[in-house]
Amino acid sequence: MVLHRSEADDSLLIYIGATVLCGGTILYRAKKNRVEKAFPFWGGLVLLFALEILCLTTLRSYLGLSLFSLACIAFCIYTRVEAMLPVDRKAVFITGSDSGIGHELAKYLDRLGFIVFASVLNVNGPGAENLKKTCSERLSVLQLDITNSAQIKEAYLEVRRKLQNADLWGVINNAGVLGFTADGELLPMHSYKQCMDVNFFGPVELSKTFLPLLRKSKGRLINISSMAGGIPMPGFAAYGASKAALSMFSGVIRQELKKWGMNVAVVHPSAFKTSIQGTPELWNKEEQILLQNLTPDAKKDYGEDYILALKTLLAFMPSISSPDFSPVLCDVLHALLAQRPYGLYTPGKNAYKYVLIFFYTPIWFYDFLMSKLMHSPIMPRALRTEETKPKNF
């Protein structure tokens, strides 16, 4: 049965009304449950709108209306909004709050009413002073070198003392170091050991120390890993390996701690504008360490000009990094307060896209893509020499 013009106009109104009702219902539930970024449903609304046009133009009948109505119902069910737990002055411990993600997290959670223990590498540094000046009296700044066992124990005792009879709800392992970016063959063992100490061994020891408090509250452990910890990226052999170890540790203890009623989440952010890449002075220092530890063969094959060009990636990173930390902040909040938090979060532009490409396309395609995205401005000396050699036919 084909609809006449008046009936078609009525069906158009029904289509529009169904769309508004569907979208409005989801937005209302999100606001009611205080979810700032609970799910990426905008893409779904676009698809729903496309289906609406398709049904209206090709199925101008009650069949089209029925199909679209069913799609709206399915969309509402699929994008259900999960209720969030109340803040209720829940206590959270954060590492690496001097700057970057940890610093913004401390401020953000303090504004929401959490009791925040923000640990910093330098308790007298500018980051610590900024937290003391701008945050509420609920926030405490603690000295902590994540690689120092004695300081981890002191931080634990201080948190337990200040909490008294209250519970610690969350621990966020955020402190991390990037080190120098270079081919894995070129990186000195110093870089590998430093990354493992800060990015893996430190969070593991801190987690083990604080787990009794989290077990008591049936709270949340959140480890900030990296996109480089989930997919291989040229230049990040030391950093990526340490973050991959942290991600695997998080996945294993997530399974093990379920029986205690606890939740563990790992966060793989994409590029955000922090100070983790260091300063030109630090790059020059790491560059000299790298040159001093090179074998003669490696130095000859790669060439000093290739090695000196490696730090261009560090200088380039801020230009491709987002200054907006809100995707990370909202995902961490969801991990802290959602009744059913996810095991993995991928905040930031392209973070999940590259994971999908890595797992669902041929390896050769992924490697080709990475070679184009993160190529060095010059080739190693030995490869350039081979290209200039005359070919014998």
Higher-pLDDT residue of 108 and 40 is 108
Q: What single letter denotes the amino acid at residue 43?
A: G
pLDDT at 18: 63
* pLDDT given for residue 179 in this prediction: 86
Chain-centre distance for alpha carbon 371: 23
Half-sphere exposure of 191 (CA within 13 A, CB side): 28
- Mean pLDDT on 42-66: 61
**The pLDDT of residue 3 is above 60:** no
H-run or E-run covering 120: strand 115-120
Whether this prediction's pTM lies above 0.95 is answered by no
Of the two residues 4 and 153, the one the predictor is more confident about is 153
pLDDT band at 47 (very low <50, low <70, confident <90, very high): low
Tell me how far apart the alpha carbons of residues 355 and 266 are, in angstroms, rounded to a whole number: 14
Q: Which residue, 211, 223, 128, 230, is CA-closest to 173?
A: 223
CB neighbour class for 315 (10 Å; exposed up to 12, middle 13-18, buried from 19): exposed
Residue in the structure block whose two tokens are 């959490």: 114
Burial of 324 (0-12, 13-18, 19+ CB in 10 A): exposed
Q: Among all residues, which ones are annotated catalytic?
A: 239
Backbone angles phi, psi at 255, to 5 degrees: -70, -40
Separation between Cα atoms, residue 215 and residue 167, nearest integer Å? 10
Residue 39 has pLDDT above 50, yes or no: no
pLDDT of 194 strictly over 50: yes
- Averaged pLDDT for residues 156-165: 92
Tell me which of 15-19, 107-111, 257-261, 297-301 is least confident: 15-19
Q: Give the residue extent of every domain in the chain.
A: 5-78, 91-104+145-154+163-373
Residue with the bigger pLDDT between 28 and 330: it is 330
Give the DSSP per-residue string, 234-299: TTBHHHHHHHHHHHHHHHHHHHHHGGGT-EEEEE----B--STT--HHHHHHHHHHHHHH--HHHH
**Domain covering 91-104+145-154+163-373, topology:** Rossmann fold (3.40.50)
| Maximum average pLDDT range among 172-186, 242-256, 265-279, 296-310 | 242-256
